[in-house]
Amino acid sequence: MKKKVIFLTSFLLAILILLSTYFSYLMNNHTKKELKTMSEKTTFSSIENTPLFKKEYEKQYEKIVIQKESNFLAEVNQFLDLKYEPEEINQIYAFLRRDNIEKLLSSEKRNVKEYYSITNFDVDKIYRYEEYQMKHNCSLKEAVLKVNIGLDHDFYTQIEEIENKNDFTVLVNKYHSLGEYEPTDLKPLSYDARYQLREQARNAFEELLSGAKLEGVFIRPYSAYRSYEYQASLYEKYVLQDGKEVADTYSARPGHSEHQTGLAVDVWSEGFTEITENDAKWLQENSYKYGFIVRYTKENKSVTGYIEEPWHLRYLGFDIAWDVHEKGLAYDEYYDLYLK
Ligand SMILES: [Zn+2]
């Protein structure tokens, strides 16, 4: 009986040992296989016998990380023809937007190393960035932002017609024109039906007025939507009065006013013909809660080209107004960095 037990135990043990050896062999083999496929993925051995494989680049291929792009191998050959180093090619695919990669492929070799961390840079504007940086002695990041806005050219000299005129996020400034755009959902303000805003902005503005009142801030609108024609007559009047140069610092040329979007409104303090310091402060600190920003501030004058206008509110919707307020950027800057 004892012998039988010993025999059975050793038999079972032997089976166990055999099984565990087999499993560990299986596992090992699997890992090896996995490693093999991984290394296949990161080398060019798979194209060795295809016309894409260029013998002269054999050494460079070994250092290049394969990407998912469908014509990646053909693009790598193009980059190597342009004399890019394998490491540069890896960085280009790791950091650059697709449109920039395509622009690099169709131009002579450019040094884009310094741009890897600047997400809003554009290959086509590299010379302008460099020129701006030299002239203003600023960081490359700042040069990219300013040139993207258009600030290396004088106001009103390089004008683009806006594409998304109907969006609540539309960017209207001295470089972007609305043409003769007219919004279709204008609604009168309850304060005075002569003043109109686009419906969503109107509702938000009415809420802002009641919210302000609850906190002892009494403001009223004095200008809201302005048509292209009305803006033209207004601007003309100011030019006659102050001359073009001065008029441009406080009045927009027709097509370039935020008031034409139906998303901007100017406010005065009740009983005054301007906004009081106290009310301006309240707007600066609270208007974002209702989806508005104070668009032209002392701090962003050099970007917007307008004097400080604590009375001019621009509707953007809560999420974006809140974010612009948080980041403390001019809307022109915010648009280039986050919305373009
Ligand atoms: Zn205004």
Ligand 1 center to 259 CA (angstroms):
6
Two tokens at 292?
């508005």
Ligand 1 center to 257 CA (angstroms):
8
DSSP 42-93: TSSGGGTTSTT--GGGHHHHHTPPP-S-TTHHHHHHHHHHTT--HHHHHHHH
**Which residues of the chain have a pLDDT value below 50?**
27, 29-41
Ligand 1 center to 232 CA (angstroms):
14
pLDDT of 81: 97
Helix, strand or coil for residue 306? coil
pLDDT of 13: 60
C-alpha span between 235 and 313 (Å, rounded): 19
Give the predicted TM-score (pTM) of the model. Answer: 0.82
pLDDT of 245: 96
Ligand 1 center to 338 CA (angstroms):
24
pLDDT of 53: 87
pLDDT of 68: 84
312 strand-pairing partners? 266
pLDDT of 31: 40
| All structural domains of the chain with their residue ranges | 36-115, 118-152, 160-339
pLDDT of 215: 97
For the domain spanning 160-339, the CATH number is 3.30.1380.10
Per the CB < 8 A criterion, the answer to whether 76 and 89 are in contact is yes
**pLDDT, tens only, 279-330:** 999 999 999 999 999 999 999 999 999 999 999 999 999 999 999 999 999 9
Ligand 1 center to 305 CA (angstroms):
14
Ligand 1 center to 142 CA (angstroms):
28
Ligand 1 center to 264 CA (angstroms):
6
Ligand 1 center to 317 CA (angstroms):
18
Ligand 1 center to 225 CA (angstroms):
9
Q: What residues are neighbours of ligand 1 (ion), with CB under 5 Å? A: 266, 312
Do the strands 160-161 and 176-177 form a parallel or antiparallel pair, or are they unpaired? parallel
pLDDT of 137: 97
Ligand 1 center to 311 CA (angstroms):
7
pLDDT of 94: 94
pLDDT of 21: 57
